[in-house]
Structures are given as C-alpha cells and as structure tokens.
C-alpha cells in the first residue's frame, strides 16, 4: 500500500522560505515520477513541480526560480524547497506519485498521478 505523508508547512511572511517533505512508504521513489501540487481556497488544484527518476524536473511558471524539487532516494523522501514566498503561494500543498515510471511531458496535470498525500498547509502573509 502506497502512503505519502507531507510535512513542513506553516506560516511565514512574504520573502521567507519553507521546505516541505513527503515521506513515502509502500514503494521507492525511483519507481515513479513524483510531483507537488497545491490548492488554494476556491481555486483548482495546480501542479507546482515534478521530478522523474532520472532527475529531470519541471516547474510551473509561477514558481520557477523560487522553488526547487528534489528527492532523497536513500530516505524515500521528496522535498520542495520554497524561497521568496509570496502571499499568492498560500495553499494546501500535496505530494503525489505518478502512474508510471517516467513522464515525458510537462507532468503538471493531476490526472497523471494516482497516489496522493493528505496535504500540508502553507500560509504566506504580506
């Protein structure tokens, strides 16, 4: 059984940083591509960042240059380093595991993923 557990969310002022973690059990990160998504109140869920087992990454335009996705395969943990946070980054953040090993495209569409964590809240104040 695949289980994803996010942590690291919290409240921070604009310009601050947070690092989200996603601990996985029931599979290994090199088996599937992985992603971070977020959903703000009243808005649709959006893809933030993805990483393939070969290390290829992709980011939403809104977070490029500020967020970094990475994976520690030895710890079976996915990370999202978020710098220069803005109030519009406020959302519930979710990690997800893809349906296949690799994703050739942008990989930011949520239908490509079939296992999700419970989410961790990020709140950025101005």
Q: Which residue has the tokens 């970094």?
A: 68
Q: Which residues contact 40 (CB under 8 A, 6 or more apart)?
A: 90, 91, 92
**In the chain, how long is the greatest CA-to-CA distance?**
40
Model pLDDT, residue 22: 97
Q: Which band of pLDDT confidence, cut at 50, 70 and 90, is reported for residue 10?
A: very high
Residues 40-53: tens digit of each pLDDT = 999 999 999 999 99
Tokens 């996603």 correspond to 22
What distance in Å separates the CA atoms of residue 38 and residue 2, rounded to the nearest whole number? 20
What was the pLDDT predicted at 106?
85
pLDDT at residue 29 greater than cutoff 80: no
């Amino acid at each position: 059984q695949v289980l994803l557990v996010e942590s690291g969310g919290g409240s921070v002022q604009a310009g601050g940083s947070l690092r989200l973690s996603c601990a996985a059990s029931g599979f290994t990160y090199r088996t599937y591509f992985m992603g971070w998504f977020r959903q703000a109140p009243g808005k649709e869920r959006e893809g933030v960042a993805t990483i393939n087992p070969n290390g290829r990454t992709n980011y939403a335009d809104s977070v490029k240059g500020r967020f970094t996705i990475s994976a520690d395969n030895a710890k079976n943990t996915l990370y999202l380093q978020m710098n220069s946070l803005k109030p519009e980054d406020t959302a519930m953040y979710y990690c997800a595991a893809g349906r296949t090993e690799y994703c050739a495209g942008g990989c930011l569409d949520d239908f490509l993923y079939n296992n999700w964590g419970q989410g961790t809240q990020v709140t950025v104040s101005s």
